[in-house]
Structure 1
């Protein structure tokens, strides 16, 4: 200690360890009490005590760390606790600060799975301030392990609320957006045509009010710049106001194997069949294809529970009662009118269920020779000579060479918007 005038020191006992034993260097027990130097200034009194009040701090500033211990009961009913391993404590610390991690590239997958589960338990992927960054760290390092297939069927509200997080998943192979009300100018189209969706194999865009203009926007990057959905193999365009003009934009999908155009503004006739056969080497399927039953489309990956948490959180929003106010309708005498409207809506839904199914699939001569023979005879009934089969590829090649370039002024104007 020190004073304002002169510096006075007060020493205690000094111990030194030698050969495993402690030895006192300057014992003060033999020194007289009056000869010890004492400081003339003391900071605290003798009866001063300090108590750390953690509960008085805000919860976001200081929290009790009780997650580092495992509490159990013994056979006698007494509470016992044991400390977690250093590895588990480290994973909990990283999960609690996952938004500040720069990269996980090179981190073992087994540890990353545990880290993802720990971050999920801490609600890091449901908090809007940390969800996008946390999912991006995992998606950049592990790709399809985080999310390989995403099903957002009839979940337009979830797509609107979590669009920033969904754009993070750049290794999706299956994406179901049936009934999400995208239209022709949705912001999500810029993501579908970006390099983040080049791995997409299955894409379901049914019941999205998608017209020919939307198909033109969807196929513009691959038609002109040869990038985008170039690996697409299954495409669902059912229940959309698409015409034959819009189907012409689909010829850029060279790997397309299965197509669903049911309940559109297209009629299944010989002209449509010849178009798909000559331009895309596809034939009409006599039976519905299993791909478009949506039985195999589901969310797969580490983030499966995260998507379910998003949906549960979105379902917590208050919903309006869909039942009509019967008392008011009876008072104003409109109950009959409402019943007729409801009956017409039910009939419309039943008519949608009875719509004709129009499925096309790739003509594969190696896997199903019997089926292709049936399609040949079906397409060429009352014409059937073998020479016509050999002339069809030559005629189709001549038509392709005579067809104008697909790049038009509308395409150039559309590309300027990207």
Structure 2
């Protein structure tokens, strides 16, 4: 091999040791190379030692081996994942490994990098990142991680039960956006949702025919909705199962007739298993990311609640405050009538129960594709209100509907 002095020192690795090929070259280059390895900073991890695997031999001596170029490349990309333009076309198997490495680098827990990093993966791999999200009773997590949650745009199931959303939470814009056109199951129970909140939730699909157009299962239990608000539900053309247990809706013949005529649904004599929340879970690559968010949120909450707790104990008002809060909760006094589960389901063409639980995942993709083709087309479902309410038809846009549309 011909060596030129212009190249300086040339080293080769033989049997794990570096050897200088051109001995006449100045030796200080070896020292600078060593310093580059030991002092080059990793992304938030101090010295660059993660390129090596340290082990012990049989004699007890410490030895190290260099990681593969593939692993080193993944680490480098993960450290700078927020600067990547796109992952479209990147193989799924490699992308899953890259996602795991980025998770180890805390890229999804850092508020500065998490939204961009999640957006990058969700745009390229959609439901593989997350297709089912369970945020049941995690209102604090929603408040702190709303920007990150908005990046999941291929969800098929979303559980927001007990999250204290009220009627005007910011997450409504995300739930009713075209980004969640694939959503099939939505659980909104125990959120203090009134008729006004239900109007806001259904405004995009009632007026613009988009947002939740593929919804098949809806849980509205333990919300103070009335018969007036049920009229908004007729805008869901594919809705097959509905839970309105422990609401302000009175179960009577008029209500049953409304669901039969306007929505093609009947009262279930037995509770539907889909509303037991036994199958609700977070599923996808980002499952552990959600768990990390919850751990972080719980730690912050403990730090913030401690002074408040001490103050309550000092003044002896902890018991009084708890009793007052319980008395303000409209679901606190549970009667025998409230224990009755009110589940409605849609009959299929043969008169049996519509089997949404068996073909939800297989039909979601086809349904979404058809929905994109039929936007602004076709059938406008009759939006007349139940006789019990005797209100004006929902097809006529009210001032409130116009205000809601302007907010989207």
TM-score range, shorter chain: 0.7 to 0.9
Matched, 1:255 2:244: no
Q: Does the CA-based 8 Å contact 2:43-2:79 persist in structure 1?
A: no
Residue equivalent to 2:406? 416
Task: Tell me the distance in 2 between the aligned counterparts of 1:412 and 1:342.
Answer: 35
Task: Tell me the distance in 2 between the aligned counterparts of 1:340 and 1:412.
Answer: 41
Q: Does the CA-based 8 Å contact 1:54-1:63 persist in structure 2?
A: no
Task: Tell me the distance in 2 between the aligned counterparts of 1:222 and 1:155.
Answer: 27
SS of aligned partner of 1:416 = helix
Shift of 1:417: 2.5
Residue equivalent to 1:173? 156
Quote the RMSD (CA, aligned, Å): 3.5
Residue equivalent to 1:8? none
Given candidates 76, 80, 96, the residue that maps to 1:93 is 76
Q: Deviating runs (4+, > 3 A) in structure 1?
A: 13-16, 49-63, 320-329, 334-350, 402-405
Task: Tell me the distance in 1 between the aligned counterparts of 2:270 and 2:55.
Answer: 60
Task: Tell me the distance in 2 between the aligned counterparts of 1:171 and 1:325.
Answer: 44
Q: Does the CA-based 8 Å contact 2:39-2:47 persist in structure 1?
A: no
Residue equivalent to 2:174? 191
Residue equivalent to 2:348? 364
Residue equivalent to 1:118? 101
Matched, 1:266 2:256: no
Q: Does the CA-based 8 Å contact 2:164-2:190 persist in structure 1?
A: yes
Give TM-score scaled by structure 1 length: 0.73
Q: What's the CA shift string for 1:148-168, capped at 9, x where partnerless?
A: 111111111110110000000
Distance 1:339 1:287, change over 3 A: same
Residue equivalent to 2:217? 234
Larger RCO (CA under 8 A, 6+ residues apart): 2
Matched, 1:406 2:366: no
Shift of 1:286: 0.9
Computing the radius of gyration from Cα coordinates, the structure with the larger value is: 1
Shift of 1:79: 1.6
SS of aligned partner of 1:120 = helix
Task: Tell me the distance in 2 between the aligned counterparts of 1:71 and 1:253.
Answer: 59
Unaligned runs of 5+ in 1: 1-12, 17-48, 370-395
Residue equivalent to 2:61? 78
Shift of 1:322: 5.9
Task: Tell me the distance in 2 between the aligned counterparts of 1:243 and 1:164.
Answer: 32
Task: Tell me the distance in 1 between the aligned counterparts of 2:207 and 2:325.
Answer: 47
1:290-301 to 2 correspondence within 5 Å?
290-301=273-284
Task: Tell me the distance in 1 between the aligned counterparts of 2:41 and 2:247.
Answer: 59
Distance 1:342 1:214, change over 3 A: closer
Task: Tell me the distance in 1 between the aligned counterparts of 2:68 and 2:88.
Answer: 24
Task: Tell me the distance in 2 between the aligned counterparts of 1:344 and 1:416.
Answer: 37
Residue equivalent to 2:113? 130
Task: Tell me the distance in 2 between the aligned counterparts of 1:134 and 1:306.
Answer: 12
Q: Does the CA-based 8 Å contact 2:42-2:48 persist in structure 1?
A: no
Q: Does the CA-based 8 Å contact 2:161-2:188 persist in structure 1?
A: yes
Task: Tell me the distance in 2 between the aligned counterparts of 1:74 and 1:261.
Answer: 66
Distance 1:254 1:346, change over 3 A: closer
Shift of 1:76: 2.3
Give TM-score scaled by structure 2 length: 0.75
Shift of 1:189: 1.0
SS of aligned partner of 1:87 = helix
1:26-45 to 2 correspondence within 5 Å?
none
